[in-house]
Amino acid sequence: MIGSTRRIRVFVHRAPVDMRKSYDSLGALVTSALGGDLLGGDVFVFVGRDRRRAKALHWDGTGMCIYQKRLSKGRFAAPWARPGTEPLALTSTELALFFEGSELVGRMPLSPKAWVA
């Protein structure tokens, strides 16, 4: 989905979001609620209250991209049901599983920790 040769950080907003929001409204949430840098290249994910729709906001270096998915069956994981108040951090693999509708995303680490020399 979001391809890159560099490591991409993914942050999920922990509260339900109105899925009618566009680039500017979601960008305001990135800076105010998530404390992120909108133009830093990170991916910011937002989930609707009914958990059938999700959006991801990403700066690819040339412009702002917004990815949206609506599930026909099942629901996205509910980030607000997970313990903690800071944004939920995912790996790019977990992001792919999230957009497939996996309920395991956020419950436990699904990817190994980064290797350190």
The verdict on residue 27 lying in a domain is yes
pTM exceeds 0.95, yes or no: no
The verdict on residue 106 lying in a domain is no
- Which among 17, 25, 29, 13 has a CA at the least distance from the CA of 89? 13
Residue 68 is predicted with a pLDDT of 94
The verdict on residue 1 lying in a domain is no
The verdict on residue 20 lying in a domain is yes
Sheet of strand 53-59, all strands in order from the earlier edge strand to the far edge: 64-70, 53-59, 43-47, 10-12, 88-90
Residue 3 is predicted with a pLDDT of 56
- Which among 78, 82, 87, 23 has a CA at the least distance from the CA of 55? 23
Task: Give the pLDDT of the chain (117 residues) as one tens digit per residue.
Answer: 555 545 788 999 989 999 999 889 999 999 988 888 888 889 999 999 999 999 999 988 889 999 999 999 888 888 888 777 788 888 888 888 888 888 777 666 666 666 677
The verdict on residue 2 lying in a domain is no
Residue 114 is predicted with a pLDDT of 66
Residue 108 is predicted with a pLDDT of 60
The verdict on residue 113 lying in a domain is no
The verdict on residue 107 lying in a domain is no
Secondary structure of residue 51 in the 3-state scheme: coil
The verdict on residue 109 lying in a domain is no
Q: Count of domains in the chain? A: 1
Residue 5 is predicted with a pLDDT of 47
Domain of residue 86 covers 10-99
